[in-house]
Amino acid sequence: MRLSVITFTLAFVAWVDGSSPSPSPSPSPSPSPSSSMESAYTSLVAATSGSCDDSYTVNVPFTLDLKDYSTTSDSEFNTCEDTLAMTVAEILSSKTSCVNTAVRRLMVQPYFTGHDIRRLSTTWATFTGSVLASPDTCADIDSCISLLSASASSVVPTNLCSVNGLCGVTVASVDEYSTTTTTTVTVTTEDGGGVPWWAWFFLLLMVCACLMCCIMVVISSTERGSHRNYDYGPEDYPLMNRGGPMYPGAMPMTTPMNSLPVSTVPMGVGPMMGGGFSPTTARMF
């Protein structure tokens, strides 16, 4: 009799447990994409909002090379570039007001993942900027770049996907952004500045030498031109060629020998055969 009572009791307990099962919890509604993006954006703003005070003294110029990046954003709260700036500030424990992104995308170029143009979906991008960090976070540029490089590969894709709906982004590399600077060198001489006197002396000497060379060249060219244009006159010809031009049928105008001027003088002749003197005429040329 005692055994049957125990059996009844166990059976009753089993029936009660089977007839009154515990109610299953109702599934909670999944948040909408818009509300999840807003929540992620609000959390990012809370971590990076505020003013940039004098404690941020480490200037960190950076460059993020991204793969599978696109400028298209599904968020109505923030752009992809602003999310990147806020992410850098979050990693370096800085503020968004300390991030300068004047040059945001130096290069955004698509490339083919295959020979099919329909697979043109991957984009490389370079995001460049500078951020002021606190020495409490990283003491110098190298340590800040190391910290950014270690955390960007996980934080950047997470923030872009949760805030902007841009998922699948990969951080290819994080480097220090180097700019080209122009260095001006000032040379001070012994006389208080300017060019020394001996430099002016040699410069003036060279100018004078150049002027003399130019004058000699001009004079020599003028002399050569005068010889070419010289008009020969009768005095430049030999004596036998004088007389001017010859015309057809004309005789050369020369002076005959018999036309030379003569003078007559009386000359006496000695006695001949007892005769007296008889004057004769002698010619003198």
What would the pLDDT profile of 236-269 be if each residue is shown by its tens digit?
Answer: 555 555 555 555 555 555 555 555 555 555 555 4
Q: Are 163 and 44 in contact (CB under 8 A)?
A: yes
How many CA atoms within 13 Å lie on the side-chain side of 199?
5
Asked if pLDDT for residue 133 goes beyond 90, the answer is yes
- Extended strands (E) in the chain: 58-67, 99-100, 105-111, 122-133, 170-176, 263-267, 280-284
Check residue 237 and report its DSSP letter. Answer: S
- Which pTM was predicted? 0.49
218, containing H or E segment: helix 197-228
Lowest mean pLDDT among 41-45, 77-81, 127-131, 251-255: 251-255
- Candidates 148, 134, 59, 128; CA nearest to 94 is 134
pLDDT confidence of residue 26: 43
Q: CA distances (Å), 1 to each of 6, 7, 8, 14, 50, in order?
A: 9, 10, 11, 20, 82
Q: Supply φ then ψ for residue 124, to 5 degrees.
A: -95, 145
Asked if pLDDT for residue 283 goes beyond 60, the answer is no
Asked if pLDDT for residue 72 goes beyond 60, the answer is yes
Q: Cα angle at 233 between 230 and 236, to 5 degrees?
A: 95
Q: Are 134 and 58 in contact (CB under 8 A)?
A: yes
List the helix and strand counts (H, then E) for the chain. 5, 7
pLDDT confidence of residue 7: 36
